Amino acid sequence: MRRRVDPTAAAARVVEALGAVDRRGFLPASQQRFARADLPLRIGQGATCSQPSTVEVMLELLDPRPGDRVLDVGSGSGWTTALLARLVGEGGSVVGVEIEPDLVETGRANLLAAGVDARIEEAVPGRLGRPQDGPYDRILVSAEARRMPRTLVDQLAEGGRMVVPVRGELVVVERAGDELRTRAYGTYQFVPLRASGED
């Protein structure tokens, strides 16, 4: 059962970003007529553009702040990357990573067409995230892990937060020194997180 977080200033900022970044511009032509539907939509290569209500919850839980350094794992069409860039503003930075080369090119083209100052890089096979640009204040993972991905946890900055689906549950991870605090927020379906050495 899905549980929404309480309305907060973060929620208001996320709603503003969702209104400002048109999902239609991040979808294949065949899917654009469904841009306003609260559905996951196919973008090719076995990937989907997550449904808006799910993205809204994930971004509320992530709570990216202006100036944050953010990693977007499984950037797909670039829509979540663009939303994150809107939320962190000019003082922040967002890098997306995507395992499918065709989607890397599509995502980059979509960001360019939308005038979004963010970048998408091709994931290195067998490696999660992008440690060379870390640590990150926030990490958003839009694919389901079999277990908590320690490689991504290690890329979190002190006080950082990650939102990641793990075995069907949406999990929030917060780092405080060597301590990790985790909370689960209901069940969600995502495509699998693909990388050897996932743990």
* Helix/strand number for the chain, H first, E second: 5, 9
Q: Nearest 5 degrees, angle CA 183-CA 79-CA 167?
A: 30
Token digits of residue 172: 């929030």
Whole-number Cα distances in Å, 180 to 3, 31, 61, 137, 138? 22, 39, 16, 14, 14
27 φ, ψ to 5°? Answer: -120, 150
Q: Which of 30, 50, 53, 142 is catalytic?
A: 50
According to DSSP, the β-strands at 169-176 and 179-187 are antiparallel
Residues near 118 by Cβ (< 8 Å), separated by ≥ 6?
78, 81, 82, 84, 85, 93, 94, 95, 96, 111
95 φ, ψ to 5°? Answer: -125, 130
Known catalytic residue: 50? yes
Cα–Cα dist 72/26, whole Å = 15
Q: Which residues are catalytic?
A: 50
